[in-house]
Amino acid sequence: MSVFKRAFPTTRRRALQVLALLGLGGSELARSAGALAESAAKADSAWPQMTYRTLGKTGFEGSRLVFGCGAALMFWGRDELLEAAFDHGVNVFDVGTSQYYRNAEGNLAAFARARRDRIFLISKGLVGVEVEPGEELSAARQREAAANWAKALDQSLVDLQTDHMDAYYIMAANNVSLIRSDEMYEAFLAAKKAGKVDHWGVSTHQNAAGVLDAAADTGRFALAQIAITPAGWYDWKTKAVQPDSKPMADLRPVLDRARAAGVGLIGMKAARYMAGRWFGFGPDRPAAFDAQYDEAFKKAPLTAFQRSYAYVLAHGLDAVNADSQSMEHLQENFFAAATAESYFA
């Protein structure tokens, strides 16, 4: 059986629950539960052991797969996916403001609250200021951005039904002056002092190299979530790899400098380009990144999507954020993250 084809992660506890619902009891229940438990043990062995990496200056040993909750939980809860991920070792869950992700924070709340001391909880907020990458923000606009970010954090805490989260990002940041802003930093420090958040981060789909360099220079950020593929930076606006980008292997100096400054690096959109141009509609491009792979890696027992995740994890990232909207996708993503380093010397 392919490691990412199992429809649901069966456990002995779930087996007993199912049999009870079917009305089986006594010795019949015991015999049936035993048989199902044996099958469950075999099925669970198909999930490899998750691997972990210290996430920058947070000091947290995070799973190399981050469960991206935004799109998956926008409209409804998916506790079966969250529980399966957690049961098999995923301990970092990332979501985002209701201004963009609708009900995702609310749909994550109960799951996160029940496991609050065992997971690393991340969300992110918008600054509400339209700005181009090369623009210099005035002091007034920096204050506005900081106030909007702080307001978004407060709303995220309400929606997540918690008084504290482990990290909160500046969402969709592309402007260097925003990253260097003292006003923004003071807003974070105030939130940290109030016990609302421990660590500051940034999430970007554009001008990632500039954002990372600025984050490293300031020494203020613990995490950065960047859109990157084996072929280089991914641009959310064009839904493609940036045409002027170097391939990822040649971006290591930028990545390594950020990590040396204590910034944990989490990749996103590593495989988005392969799944059609607009949110998965249109033909897949399974060979889109093959030019970046050597022959041995092309022969690895991975799907094209798994190959992209494994590659970025082995070439400078601490973890990868994957949007898993089905059990099959979760298991596929999990396998790639857990085994990524094994394909490279």
Dihedral sign, CA of 275, 271, 229, 345? Answer: negative
The confidence band for 9, taking pLDDT boundaries of 50, 70 and 90, is very low
Q: Return the minimum-mean-pLDDT range out of 16-20, 45-49, 65-69, 171-175.
A: 16-20
Question: Tokens 């997540």 appear where?
Answer: 160
Q: What percent of the chain has pLDDT over 70?
A: 85
What the block records as the tokens of 34 is 């035993």
Dihedral sign, CA of 289, 290, 291, 296? Answer: positive
Q: What is the pLDDT of residue 41?
A: 45
Q: Which domains does the chain have, with CATH numbers?
A: 1-45 (no CATH), 47-343 (3.20.20.100)
172's CB contacts (< 8 A; 6+ apart) are 126, 203, 204, 205, 206
Residue range 171-193: mean pLDDT, rounded: 97
Report the C-alpha gap between 124 and 289 in whole angstroms: 29
pLDDT at 326 over 50: yes
Residue range 312-330: mean pLDDT, rounded: 96
pLDDT at 18 over 50: no
Q: Which residue from 330, 338, 281, 278 is spatially nearest to 78, judged by alpha carbons?
A: 330
Residue range 261-265: mean pLDDT, rounded: 98
What is the rounded average pLDDT for all residues in the chain? Answer: 88
Return phi, psi of residue 257, to 5°. -65, -40
Q: What is the pLDDT of residue 345?
A: 77
Angle formed at CA 200 by CA 187 and CA 320, multiple of 5 degrees? 150
The confidence band for 327, taking pLDDT boundaries of 50, 70 and 90, is very high
Are the C-beta atoms of residues 259 and 222 closer than 8 Å to each other?
no
Residue range 206-232: mean pLDDT, rounded: 98
Q: Return the minimum-mean-pLDDT range out of 22-26, 209-213, 336-340.
A: 22-26
CB atoms within 10 A of CB 166: 22
Q: What is the pLDDT of residue 279?
A: 52
Q: What is the pLDDT of residue 131?
A: 87
pLDDT at 115 over 80: yes
Amino acid in the structure at residue 157: L
More confident residue, 20 or 295: 295
Are the C-beta atoms of residues 134 and 105 closer than 8 Å to each other?
no
Q: What is the pLDDT of residue 33?
A: 46
Q: What is the pLDDT of residue 297?
A: 97
The confidence band for 234, taking pLDDT boundaries of 50, 70 and 90, is very high
Q: Return the minimum-mean-pLDDT range out of 40-44, 108-112, 226-230.
A: 40-44
Residue range 126-155: mean pLDDT, rounded: 96
CB atoms within 10 A of CB 237: 9
The pLDDT tens digits of the residues spanning 156-177 come to 999 999 999 999 999 999 999 9
Does the predicted TM-score (pTM) go above 0.85? Answer: yes
What the block records as the tokens of 234 is 């991914």
Q: What is the pLDDT of residue 25?
A: 40
